Structure 1
């Protein structure tokens, strides 16, 4: 078995260099790198920030309208004969957004690009809120019916926007399914890491990969995933409605306590972040581009704005107006980055472990593992008497982050696969591949003591590929979103009929009002 897994890892050895080349292009070209200032910024950074700024201007700063209305929409007691509630869609989206990247991604960005990375992450998230609005409205406009549910997202609006060609949707659906399924082993690894660290903290010694504990984790994880996933989207939403608030409250609450204990260091945090954004320390490359690239890259992997992945959650919701879900998912970007990611940043920057100055001779081994770096930062900031308890709580949060992301990946793959076929047998095949093939595969790599680093590079590569596929579609579909937004503002969320605006969609017809109350 080890030989097979190693072969899989070696097969994907080409992924790492390709991923780095795409993310760094064209800064890896000498002539471009020689251009003052601009030469520090890669095309993905320029694209994501540029499109976010463009949509922000065209929507007249839709971000400012995302807070009050989004919360009001989620708290409203909307009844529906089809789909899930706006709040359920928000939780399903946050199950994916608020993942391990909120901890290890932000920790990694700071350790590579310095505290200034967090500042650029905020900037990217602010403008990313408008991109999230655009893609979520498109997902709502072009969603389709499936029994008592809705399905939709990137493949569905991609087909309609590109001449209603079915092969377009098929291609987008296949790409997304590949993206989601190959992200599953990494999330499985994160679940094992969290539970394993908790066990080691409790017993005070390392736990072998071949131990009864790790085999028990594998069995329980596969059973839990299969039970939830085979129950369909509604069962996934039912569990995400519980697990997502639980992980958010636990993580945010404990982070606030740690920050309050270290209240005098708060000014230091803001100084390091703001100054580091424009005058980064030489240890992190000494260039603004390093901090900016890390901030945008890790911000994207965290909040997924503009990537098209959260459109699956946006599409399955029942809303009175398509713009409602745009506001809800835009708020999701804010909560993910400005709240959860910022709390991680507070702890990592305030602990000052990211410089290596206070970590001692074990620095290199600590830096090699981002979760270890984060937990070391946590322990640096709290009294020794409660260090173990706090570490256990934070590991539990990390495990929940990974588990909900795992469920989200499989669920979104299922929603996307409905474009290929809505037949029950095909949907069961996707559920089986996710929960009974890729989850066990991830577990096997852990039990075999392998990291499969090359396989994890797929996540970075697929993130940017999804951006390159989705952003052009957002630009093409933008006029339709602007019309819907103008109607929403004029009527305060009144009845929306797509035909009145020069196009017709399956779920926004004159007779659809009977399905809503």
Structure 2
């Protein structure tokens, strides 16, 4: 079974997948006229000035839910794995994936906002790829195909978010906790399960509140710690950057033979970390209360920068500046395949993963490294599991639109929670990480294939929204969205909102706080 999972993972995230991710990012960068640079002021402004309502969370809270899903084990263990199997050059390709992926994230998250709707049971905003895949062509002859495609995406996402991916995060927590404090893996797993159930039962508002409190604090502390490590090793800053860029293109004598692996692992772990194009971001984007879909698209585009350019880079510099890494000639942790070791000469007993970062931080504050990284990994991974649940429930909600009985719908939600509990138990108690990561790659890859192909077809409404936003900004207005003049059909929520604002008393859209 392990061999089958590895084979499937390798084929789903093979060369065509890498071309798809980078190609889509380049294409959307051109179509949006380099928005990841030109619209940075709009990104920052919306994070600060976002609205909220009884049905929707603020742009900041939506960003935190998104970052809770993006910032996880991939930001520590994923970066270490990319360096171990792709060399320092993999970091450059993670950066490239983030820069190009920012435009991709804008497209998918703006679509998530355009086609969002209210949950009939809770009144909360719901949206995501399944919703916009179905609605974008609802008025055409392709309606039947789009519904089937949307259902397939929703099913894949429910399985990925509730079973394939949580195990990776739970395993990262239990393994790092065992390494740092010697805790049996079952103890950390039980703690994760108890906290998870406490939060997810409270719904999206509790998830948003929790993410808004925890994510900014943990990210800032982690980045500051990495800056301290880099400052102590200031003489390594130039060699680190030189090594990253030279090995990224095969110019380094040592890493020249594996530069293709640098591209592959950089893109794969970059996507696993920042999730641009994977289809996860639109779920939290749709939960936000905004006056124009492009506003939340900008916020989610910035989330990619926070995840990869800040947090992943922090881990990379912590590892590379201290020299605590090994590089293998193949994607197998085999002593006979070690290509080279960093100047820090990390001990052979330190496995690929969080141990690299723990060893690196330990060179600055001896005895503190393992505990600090384990604690950071706990918060990163736990908030990611919480975000996974939210996305799994959102897609289950989409599938349950064909289930008329409320009691049955509630039973299905609890079945989803049980499935996630099983996934956390299996991942948290597992002693090996290879299968867990392979399952995670299958989940990420399958979602990304389905979503990127979809948004390449459905991009026009998002591009129209961007053009409309820029036009209103040039006219000195606070952009408000009405899909009808733009000939965007089936965006019922926004039609009702526009009519409500015009009617000054008609129901349908809550007043903004």
Same fold (TM over 0.5): yes
- Of 284-293 and 143-152, deviating more is 284-293
Structure 2 Cα separation of the partners of residues 114 and 320 of structure 1: 45
Structure 2 Cα separation of the partners of residues 466 and 138 of structure 1: 16
Asked whether the 8 Å contact 1:66–1:328 carries over to 2, the reply is no
Q: 1:132 to 1:115 in 2, by over 3 A?
A: same
Structure 1 Cα separation of the partners of residues 232 and 482 of structure 2: 54
Q: 1:434 to 1:197 in 2, by over 3 A?
A: farther
Asked whether the 8 Å contact 2:389–2:420 carries over to 1, the reply is no
Q: 1:341 to 1:13 in 2, by over 3 A?
A: same
1:156 maps to: 131
1:402 pairs with one of 363, 368, 381: 381
1:490 maps to: 471
Matches within 5 A, 1:168-183: 168-181=149-162, 182-183=164-165
Structure 1 Cα separation of the partners of residues 8 and 209 of structure 2: 39
Asked whether the 8 Å contact 2:427–2:436 carries over to 1, the reply is no
Asked whether the 8 Å contact 2:88–2:248 carries over to 1, the reply is yes
Cα deviations across residues 438-491 of structure 1 (Å, max 9, x unaligned)?
3345335645x6437434411111212112111121111111111111110000
1:267 pairs with one of 220, 238, 261: 238
Q: Residue 428 of structure 1: CA displacement?
A: 4.0
Structure 1 Cα separation of the partners of residues 465 and 213 of structure 2: 32
2:492 maps to: 506
Cα deviations across residues 349-386 of structure 1 (Å, max 9, x unaligned)?
112232425566942x32x3311122122223x1xxx3
Structure 2 Cα separation of the partners of residues 359 and 81 of structure 1: 53
1:291 pairs with one of 255, 262, 269: 262
Q: Residue 255 of structure 1: CA displacement?
A: 0.9
2:424 maps to: 442
Structure 1 Cα separation of the partners of residues 149 and 247 of structure 2: 43
Q: 1:411 to 1:374 in 2, by over 3 A?
A: same
2:396 is the counterpart of 1:417: yes
Q: Residue 215 of structure 1: CA displacement?
A: 4.5
Q: 1:361 to 1:143 in 2, by over 3 A?
A: closer
Structure 2 Cα separation of the partners of residues 436 and 485 of structure 1: 41
Q: Residue 416 of structure 1: CA displacement?
A: 1.5
Structure 2 residue runs of 5 or longer lacking an equivalent are 326-339, 502-508
Matches within 5 A, 1:233-252: 233-252=204-223
Asked whether the 8 Å contact 2:200–2:206 carries over to 1, the reply is yes
Q: 1:336 to 1:361 in 2, by over 3 A?
A: closer
2:300 maps to: 329
Q: 1:133 to 1:57 in 2, by over 3 A?
A: same
Asked whether the 8 Å contact 1:63–1:126 carries over to 2, the reply is yes
**Alpha carbon RMSD of aligned pairs, Å?**
2.2
Structure 1 residue runs of 5 or longer lacking an equivalent are 1-9, 25-41, 201-206
1:49 maps to: 22
Kindly indicate which of the two structures has a greater share of residues assigned to helix: 1
2:9 is the counterpart of 1:19: yes
Asked whether the 8 Å contact 1:107–1:370 carries over to 2, the reply is yes
2:78 is the counterpart of 1:90: no
Q: 1:93 to 1:77 in 2, by over 3 A?
A: closer
2:229 pairs with one of 254, 258, 270: 258
Q: 1:433 to 1:183 in 2, by over 3 A?
A: farther
2:89 maps to: 116
Q: Residue 390 of structure 1: CA displacement?
A: 3.8
Structure 1 Cα separation of the partners of residues 353 and 167 of structure 2: 18
1:225 pairs with one of 174, 187, 196: 196
2:309 is the counterpart of 1:338: yes
Cα deviations across residues 157-184 of structure 1 (Å, max 9, x unaligned)?
1112343433332221111001101211
2:439 is the counterpart of 1:458: yes
Aligned residue-pair number: 472
2:336 maps to: none
Structure 2 Cα separation of the partners of residues 114 and 76 of structure 1: 41
Give the secondary-structure state (helix, strand or coil) at the position aligned to 1:420: helix
2:461 maps to: 480
2:361 maps to: 378
1:515 pairs with one of 506, 510, 513: 510
Q: Residue 127 of structure 1: CA displacement?
A: 0.8
Q: Residue 340 of structure 1: CA displacement?
A: 0.7
